[in-house]
Amino acid sequence: MKIGFLGLGNMGQAVAANLLKGGHELLVWNRSPGASQALVEQGATAVSEPAQAFAADVVFSMLADDKALRAVLLDSGLLKQLKGPLIHVNMATIAVAFADELAGLHAAQGVDYIAAPVMGRPNVAAAGKLNIIAAGSGQAIDTVQPLFDLIGTKTWHIGETPSSANVMKLAMNFMLVSAIEAMSEAAVLVTRHGLKSADLVELASSTVFPGPVYAGYGALIGERQYEPAAFKAVLGLKDVDLALAAAGQVSVHMPLADLVRAHLQDAMEHGQGEMDLAVLAEVAERRNPR
């Protein structure tokens, strides 16, 4: 296939590289052109404008947030210039309301819109082992499934309404951040009793909490290693805000999300927003002065 790809951050780079390995033609665009160079060396073609990336059969976008996606697609007038047959796969974690808006605007242009946020850190993306949460036209998803198979181990079909995938991803990210918050508080508890937080993490991840969250983020907490960030605290705050907004749409109260949001905001105020989410451990330390 001829594929367009917009957004070449750590995750986008890894996903795009795996599409290239599948033998597809790839047109890549990023706001900072330098990010395209590594992919160009692997055979991709860099384009100077987002519209050029849409001269394809399928376009993937993995832009940072709602604001970036709105600027590229809507404020520029680009979406109104598009027409089918074309499939747009948006892999970004965005607001549920914005996802509904995008679905309607794509449908008006005759363009298939698939929401496909992913689960996994950049190293998982590089290995082609992401979990993909996909929602949209079943026929369109079937068309791009061979591409999903290049970048992930499983595609979770959530339904025909694209925003359903965003709801599920926000719920998962909320659970992720909450788990890190729990580990951070528990780490302070054991260290104040003269124990090692690394031992707590090993015990937890080897018994009742196996898996990448407690083992991966727990290791960072145990080592107090927050850079380089695989998932920045500022992005965690963005996702918790989006989860709270989604909850507000259906009158759901999420008191734990309010607490985690306050702690992530504390990290921002202390200049730690660009550090890994595991930096919540430092927030827990600050909130429990000796």
If you write DSSP's letter for every residue of the chain in order, what string do you get? -EEEEE--SHHHHHHHHHHHHTT-EEEEE-SSGGGGHHHHHTT-EE-SSHHHHTSSSEEEE--SSHHHHHIIIIITS-GGG--SS-EEEE-S---HHHHHHHHHHHHHTT-EEEE--EES-HHHHHTT-EEEEEES-HHHHHHHHHHHHHHEEEEEEEESSTHHHHHHHHHHHHHHHHHHHHHHHHHHHHHHTT--HHHHHHHHHHTTS-SHIIIIIHHHHHHT---S-SSBHHHHHHHHHHHHHHHHHTT---HHHHHHHHHHHHHHHTT-TTSBGGGHHHHHHHTS--
Question: Catalytic residue at 169?
Answer: yes
Rounded to 10 degrees, what is the CA torsion of 196, 202, 204, 206? -160
Look up the pTM and report it. 0.94
State residue 105's pLDDT score: 98
Q: What is the mean pLDDT of residues 104-111?
A: 98
> Residue 269 is which amino acid?
E
Average pLDDT (89-118) is: 98
In this prediction, residue 230 carries a pLDDT of 86
Read off the pLDDT of each residue in 156-181 and give the average, rounded to a whole number.
97
Q: Is 77 a residue whose pLDDT tops 90?
A: yes
Check 169, 196, 232, 238 and give the catalytic one: 169
Residue pair 226/275 in contact (Cβ under 8 Å)? The answer is yes
Confidence check: pLDDT of 111 > 90: yes
Lowest mean pLDDT among 30-34, 53-57, 139-143: 30-34
Q: Determine what percent of the chain is predicted with pLDDT higher than 90.
A: 96
Report the distance separating Cα 258 and Cα 243, nearest Å.
10
Among candidates 188, 159, 157, which has minimal Cα distance to 263? 188
- The pLDDT score that the predictor gives to residue 33 is 86
> What pLDDT is recorded for position 16?
97
Residue 284 has pLDDT above 90, yes or no: yes
pLDDT over threshold 90, residue 41? yes
Q: Which range has the worst mean pLDDT, 87-91, 202-206, 228-232? A: 228-232
pLDDT at 95: 97
Parallel, antiparallel or unpaired: strands 2-6 and 112-115: unpaired
8 A C-beta contact, residue 183 and residue 221: yes
Residue 197: band (very low, low, confident or very high) from pLDDT cuts 50, 70, 90: very high
φ, ψ dihedrals at 225, nearest 5° = -110, 110
User: Average pLDDT for residues 41-55, to the nearest whole number?
Assistant: 96
Q: What percent of the chain has pLDDT above 70?
A: 100
| Alpha carbon distance 126, 92 (integer Å) | 17
Q: How confident is the model at residue 121 (pLDDT cuts 50, 70, 90)?
A: confident
Residue 88 has pLDDT above 90, yes or no: yes
Q: pLDDT grade, residue 64 (50/70/90)?
A: confident
Instruction: Tell me the pLDDT band of 2, cut-offs 50, 70 and 90.
Output: very high
Q: Average pLDDT, stretch 133-156?
A: 98
What's the pLDDT score for residue 224? Answer: 92
Query: Taking all residues of the chain, what is their mean pLDDT, rounded to a whole number?
Result: 96
